[in-house]
């Protein structure tokens, strides 16, 4: 997880048996610029919803050619950068999966904020182009 926040992601994922997790209190974008991003198999993160974090992170994920799982607010799906990327994907690109709540939206309100500052989220995931575990002709699956 490139966004440190309070550093609890290592402990939380270890509780799910994921013991090889990198989550450092450092500037992720500086690490990208300096080619210091540690080797990884899958990027999993809940990026900050402010500023240009989501656009920059999506660019990194797409260029990495590795699997990624992002917790994103629904409005990202309407952003020009997301639509441009989504609509320019080649037919041979890895399948996209959108994972949403089954019964009611997950609504997140940051600690200390009132209900007027909530965000509804969805999770977006992709596999690598070499991942043959998914037999699906549709590159854009909504579930």
pLDDT in tens, 79-134: 999 999 989 988 888 888 888 777 776 666 656 666 555 555 555 555 544 443 43
Assigned token pair, 67: 């699997």
* CA separation for the pair 46, 54 (Å, rounded): 10
Tens digits of per-residue pLDDT, 70-81? 888 888 888 999
Q: Residue 35: what pLDDT?
A: 94
DSSP assignment of 31-73 equals: HHHTT-PPP-S-EEE---SSTTHHHHHHHHHHHHTS-EEEEEE
Q: Residue 142: what pLDDT?
A: 35
The pTM of this model reads: 0.68
Share of the chain above pLDDT 70, in %: 71
pLDDT at 32 exceeding the cut of 90 = yes
In this structure, the number of other CB atoms found within 10 A of the CB of residue 15 comes to: 9
Q: Residue 6: what pLDDT?
A: 76
* CA separation for the pair 132, 127 (Å, rounded): 9
Q: Residue 129: what pLDDT?
A: 45
* CA separation for the pair 106, 96 (Å, rounded): 20
By the 8 A CB rule, do 93 and 29 touch?
no
| Burial profile 64-95: b = 16 or more Cβ within 10 angstroms, e = fewer | eebbbbbbbbeebeeeeebeeeeeeeeeeebb
């Amino acid at each position: 997880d490139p966004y440190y926040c309070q550093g609890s992601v290592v402990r939380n994922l270890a509780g799910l048996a994921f013991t090889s997790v990198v989550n450092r209190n450092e500037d992720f974008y500086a690490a990208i610029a300096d080619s210091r991003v540690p080797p990884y198999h899958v990027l999993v993160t809940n990026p900050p919803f402010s500023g240009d974090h989501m656009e920059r992170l999506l660019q990194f994920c797409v260029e990495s050619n590795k699997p990624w799982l992002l917790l994103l607010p629904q409005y990202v799906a309407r952003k020009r950068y997301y639509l441009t990327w989504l609509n320019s994907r080649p037919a041979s690109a890895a399948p996209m999966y959108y994972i949403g709540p089954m019964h009611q939206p997950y609504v997140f309100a940051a600690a200390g904020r009132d209900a007027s500052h909530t965000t509804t989220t969805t999770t977006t995931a992709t596999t690598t182009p070499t991942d043959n575990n998914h037999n699906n002709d549709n590159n854009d699956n909504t579930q």
